A and B are shown apart, each in its own frame.
Chain A
Amino acid sequence: MITSLSAATVIALALGLVIGLIVLLVLQVITGMRVQRLTQPLYEYARSQSQAEADHIVNEAHEAARTMMAQAQQSVSALIEKQRVDIEAHAQTYQKSLEELATAAKHSMTESSEKAHSAQAELSISIAHEIEAQGAELKTRMERVQQELDNFFKQSQAEMADMRRGMEESTHTLAESFKKAFDDVSGKGEKRIDERIDQLLAAAQAEVAEYQKARKRLVDEHMADLITETSKVVLRKTLTPDEHAELVDNALKEARTAGII
């Protein structure tokens, strides 16, 4: 059925729909404006009520804060006043004590000074007397010591002279006895050395002679060996087989004579 609708009809329907939509939009706008116009007073009223309530709360809070601040200021002022009174009382007491102490100290220093001056004077006199006494005694002692030193020096010189004299005598005696002993020993020593040298010389000569004899014997033995070896070479080169055979016969006969074979 749709397919049978003409194009004009379709266009008409489309136009109709468009127009309908436009109408709906206009109605929507109009309706919105009316609703806004109707609800605006209520909104304003609610907003003013809320504002008033908030202002009231804030004012109350400010009032409470001011009250608390006033109370705190009063308390602090009372405390500060009390402290100031206490401090003034302590300062007066301290000042008074200081004055008393200064007075006592001044009095005491005056007394000490007087005593010290008196004691110093006494001590100086005493020291002077003592030094004078000690000096005299020291001088006496020094003189005594000097005297003793002089005596000791003189005595030492005398003793040293005696000792020197004794040592010279002892040395001379010792030298004489040593010279005598040395002469004795030297004479005997020379004799002994000569004898020892003679013994050693004789022993050395005997050893040399023995050595020469042994060497000569060794050389002779060596020469005898050389003669034997040379003779063997000569025999080997000069003998004929018959002569060798004859020597073999003789050797066998020698062995037979010796009972070996």
Chain B
Amino acid sequence: MEHVIPPSVLKNTFCISDLHRRADILQTFLEHFFFGTTPKTGSRAELIVSFYAQGDPETVQHAHAVAAWGDAVLDLYTEKNVYERIKLLKSLAASLPKLTLYIPVHFALSQIERIGEWCRAQVQPDILLDIKIDPEAVGGCAFVYKNTFHDFSFSYFADKQRAAILSLVQKL
């Protein structure tokens, strides 16, 4: 059993919460696949998409993302190791470099993907985001990287322009 997250998983998964959500979706599908009445013939990637076809849009998007991991990854799960592998997948997320990102509102998957791609291109290739919602981070974001907190919200930019704001106030 490999102790690394498969590259196809990391390729379309950029934050820890999405990885956990997708692992749960995969586990539910596999339980039905191994122990239920779900058809056992054909590609598991196609089967999982069809399995969640009637779900809410976000679940469907996650199901597609899991399908994109490919049968090479999905076929590694058997009825004997499904729980062990799911647990391993979740635990391996903790071993990757992490950027805790504070954003003011909930972002769509596409927006998270865009941010994640930028981070992997500019910061670290295998970095995972730990997204947290904080309204105080409006006008930008705040983040913790390498155990240090940085505030790049509106407060930061306002402080940078403090003199201009004060000048404006004095003119009032």
Contact = CB atoms under 8 A, between A and B. Distances in A.
B170 interface: yes
Interface residues of B, number: 37
Interface string A233-250: 001100101101101111
Given A255-B143, A260-B145, A220 B118 contact: no
Contacts of A249: 114-115, 118
B115 A232 contact: no
Given A227-B165, A231-B154, A261-B99, A244 B119 contact: no
Contact of A235 (B139, B162, B170, B172): B139
Contacts of A138: none
Contacts of A220: 166, 169-170
B140 A228 contact: no
Interface in B138-157: 138-141, 143, 145, 150, 152-156
B131 to A, nearest CB: 10
Contacts, number: 91
Contacts of B141: 247-248, 251-252
Interface string B99-136: 10101111110010011001100110000000000011
A160 interface: no
Nearest to B110: A245
B150 A260 contact: yes
B152 A244 contact: no
Contact of A221 (B140, B145, B166): B166
Contact of B154 (A221, A232, A241): A232
Interface residues of A, number: 26
A247 B166 contact: no
A228 B158 contact: yes
Contacts of B99: 261
A247 B141 CA distance: 8
A228 B138 CA distance: 11
A238 B140 CA distance: 14
Contacts of A251: 140-141, 152-153, 156
A247 B158 contact: no
A231, A250, A251, A252 — most chain B CB neighbours (10 Å): A251
Contacts of A244: 103-105, 107, 138
Contact of B166 (A224, A232, A245): A224
Interface string A35-58: 000000000000000000000000
A255 B170 CA distance: 31
Contacts of B140: 247-248, 250-251, 254
A241 B111 contact: yes
A224 B164 CA distance: 10
A239 B123 CA distance: 27
Contacts of B162: 224
B61 to A, nearest CB: 16
A236 B107 contact: no
Q: Which 6 A-B pairs have the closest CB atoms?
A: A251-B140, A251-B152, A245-B111, A228-B158, A248-B141, A223-B169
7 contacts: A224-B162, A227-B158, A241-B106, A244-B107, A245-B115, A248-B101, A248-B141
Given A232-B138, A241-B108, A255-B143, 16 more contacts: A223-B172, A224-B158, A224-B165, A227-B158, A227-B168, A231-B158, A232-B153, A245-B111, A248-B101, A248-B107, A251-B140, A251-B153, A252-B152, A256-B123, A260-B150, A261-B150
